[in-house]
Amino acid sequence: MGFHGIPRSALLTAAVAVAPATGLAATVADRLPVEVLLAGGKAAEAVANAVFAPGPGATAAPDFSGVLQIAQASISTDPVLVTPVVGGRDARLFPAVSLEFFTVDGVLVPVQRGELVRETGRAPVPSYWQVIPQFGRVWHESRDGAWSRAAFPVMLVNDTENHAHQGLATFLYKDGAVSQLRFQLVQQTAPYLVRPHFVGWGSAELKLLAAPPEALPARRAEATAELAERLPARPWADLVAGAPAGALDGFGGPLYPRWMVEAALVRDGTLYYQDAPTPFGPYPYPLEMRFGVRSIMKSVAAPLALLHLAEVYGPYVLDLKVGDYVDGLDPKYKQVRFIDAASMASGFGGTGSVKTHPNDIYDGYLGGDYDAWYTAPSHADKVAEIARHLRPYPWQPGTVVRYRDQDFYLLGVAVDGFLKSVRGPDADVWEMLQQEVLRPIGIRHAPAVRTREPGGRRGYVWFNAGFYPSLDDLAKIALLYQRRGEHAGRQLLHRGLTEDLLNARGALAKAGDASERTGPPAPAEAAGGLYRLGFHYTPYLDAGQRQRYLPTMSGSGENEVILYPNGLVSIRTAKAAGLPDGEKVSSDAGPQTIRAVERLAPF
């Protein structure tokens, strides 16, 4: 038996949700026959996503255990990539990687699940990509003879930005033999360096190596426990069926549906998820998708780190100075508190205008050769770019909001420096967060981009972007905030400061200049929204005509997580960036998602 008396097999297969096949009269074996997978050679085209999951008529398959050595392979793309090579690495190549797998009751489990797996070996041209494998399935088709099928979700990601492609891979196995690997990339979050938006497909040669059998019992127990820790999850139709007619109309809007990747709502501790549409049918493993959520990382790393450290060491941590923990910065950073940097109010950046009446939060955001800083691989390279191009503003820290990724990056290095000062040189802020905050709330894997340091030294995790979460991860983080930093009787975040975050206390008006007043921003200034501690505060006039400021995690491409006064959480991942000039991403219908949540559960 499994957890709470539920059979383990039922627990596992329920946790690894598979979207039902739609409009497919043919079986998996018809769509992608054994003969094609065994023949080798280049994949001619992408196929229906339903090929990558068991469908009607599938039966149980034998257990699988082994290491797959995946050869580097070409990716056919549609359309052709405009910028396929970045820093000498080619985005048209699937990376050569080694992935270890085993099975538990029909679930295919990657040992490296939730990890950024780098390319192994040396190729004449390296791939731009790394991979994150996720839970998949194994099954048998009657037409496949002695062969069984295995399939798994695989995300193509990289360490230069926060671009993610949601992909699928499948292979055959029997008696220590495997076929080639068939893969396709069917959805993505917003591109930045590799454009345009594309789908891709290909085939890679496989070599199967034995895996140590003595590790299997512990690994199977760990995988079962990990899946049991996920939030209860149900398809969107279940939520609609129990809601008043029309209540959820427009959810996900005003973003146009063609730019949506996935959307979900957390209500009463349950994650309700929509289908994840792709050009080849629904993505069959929606709960396994990991997304490049860009600046949503600003609402994760900095608030969780600062509020947790405030709980452990005291609120004074927010008043520590960035310049005391990061070398090589302008002297003004000796005045910049951690909370100033986390509120985009460092008073540093020096690009754009100095006009603050009204202020434009994004004035000069991409100035100062932003791309040179963004793509600089090491910490020293990034600091050198900051010193080369950015200058102090005339105002004091903590008074004017100017959106700067550089501030959040430096904040991460500074918080890491403080942690080392109290825990020793081996301390690492992202490891601390994983062990002391994320792991206790049921997040066992938190893949994130780090700087690339000489000699293979561990780099600094980016606080400005670079996180690759799942829906379950985003939901759990949002619920931790909603619960005032408490989980299962443990106060993980400072309660009072988390209350301040949820209520926008101390937030700065995006359109204002706080150096000219004391107290909260005037209504006219606040109408353009507020910002503090990595959160945007979205203004919303509710049905009772009360002005609300909803804590919002926001990332480029229209990625968005909103926390509501009724305890609900809306999640939207999207790809509405890197588009042709003049392309419109949203309608003029207004805050449709917020209205839908209010109709469902009035504030």
Distances in Å between the Cα of 335 and the Cα atoms of 148, 154, 343, 414, 516 are 63, 44, 14, 13, 19
pLDDT at 2: 41
pLDDT per residue as tens digits for the range 310-366: 999 999 999 999 999 999 999 999 999 999 999 999 999 999 999 999 999 999 999
pLDDT per residue as tens digits for the range 495-510: 999 999 999 999 999 9
More confidently predicted of 361 and 29: 361
pLDDT per residue as tens digits for the range 547-600: 999 999 999 999 999 999 999 999 999 999 999 899 999 999 999 999 999 999
Q: Show Cβ contacts of residue 459 under 8 Å, excluding neighbours closer than 6 positions.
A: 378, 379, 450, 451, 452, 453
User: 559 pairs with which residues across the strands?
Assistant: 555
pLDDT at 3: 33
CB 349 within 8 A of CB 397: no
Confidence tier at 27 by pLDDT (50, 70, 90): confident
CB 93 within 8 A of CB 72: yes
| CA–CA gap between residue 362 and residue 365 (Å, rounded) | 5
| CA–CA gap between residue 6 and residue 380 (Å, rounded) | 53
Largest CA distance in the chain: 78
Write b or e for each residue in 156-184: b if 16 or more Cβ atoms lie within 10 A of its Cβ, otherwise e: bbbbbbbbbbbbbbbbbbeeeebbbbbbb
pLDDT per residue as tens digits for the range 123-161: 899 999 999 999 999 999 999 999 999 999 999 999 999
| Parallel, antiparallel or unpaired: strands 130-133 and 107-110 | unpaired
pLDDT per residue as tens digits for the range 83-103: 899 999 999 999 999 999 999
Distances in Å between the Cα of 394 and the Cα atoms of 91, 349, 516, 518, 530 are 43, 11, 13, 19, 21
pLDDT at 1: 40
Q: Is 512 exposed, middle or buried (0-12, 13-18, 19+ CB in 10 A)?
A: buried
Question: Is the bond preceding 217 in cis, omega lying within 30 degrees of 0?
Answer: no
Q: Please write down the HEC assignment for all residues of 415-457.
A: HHHHHHHHHCCCCCHHHHHHHHHHHHHCCCCCCECECCCHHHC
Confidence tier at 43 by pLDDT (50, 70, 90): confident
pLDDT per residue as tens digits for the range 399-438: 999 999 999 999 999 999 999 999 999 999 999 999 999 9
| CA–CA gap between residue 30 and residue 589 (Å, rounded) | 44
Tell me, yes or no, if the pTM score tops 0.85: yes
Mean residue pLDDT of the chain comes to 95
Considering the four listed CATH numbers 3.30.1220.10, 3.40.50.970, 3.40.710.10, 3.40.630.30, the one that applies to the domain covering 294-541 is 3.40.710.10
More confidently predicted of 7 and 145: 145
Confidence tier at 18 by pLDDT (50, 70, 90): confident
pLDDT at 282: 97
Q: Provide, rounded to the nearest whole percent, the portion of the chain with pLDDT above 70.
A: 97
CB 103 within 8 A of CB 109: yes
Residue type, 67: V
Residue 349, classed as helix, strand or coil, is coil
Give the mean model confidence (pLDDT) for residues 200-217.
97
Domain boundaries, the chain: 3-228, 231-288+556-603, 294-541
Q: Show Cβ contacts of residue 209 under 8 Å, excluding neighbours closer than 6 positions.
A: 66, 67, 69
pLDDT reading at 462 higher than 60: yes
| Parallel, antiparallel or unpaired: strands 270-273 and 260-267 | antiparallel
Q: 11-15, 114-118, 190-194 — which is least confidently predicted?
A: 11-15
| CA–CA gap between residue 146 and residue 143 (Å, rounded) | 9
pLDDT reading at 5 higher than 80: no
pLDDT at 516: 80
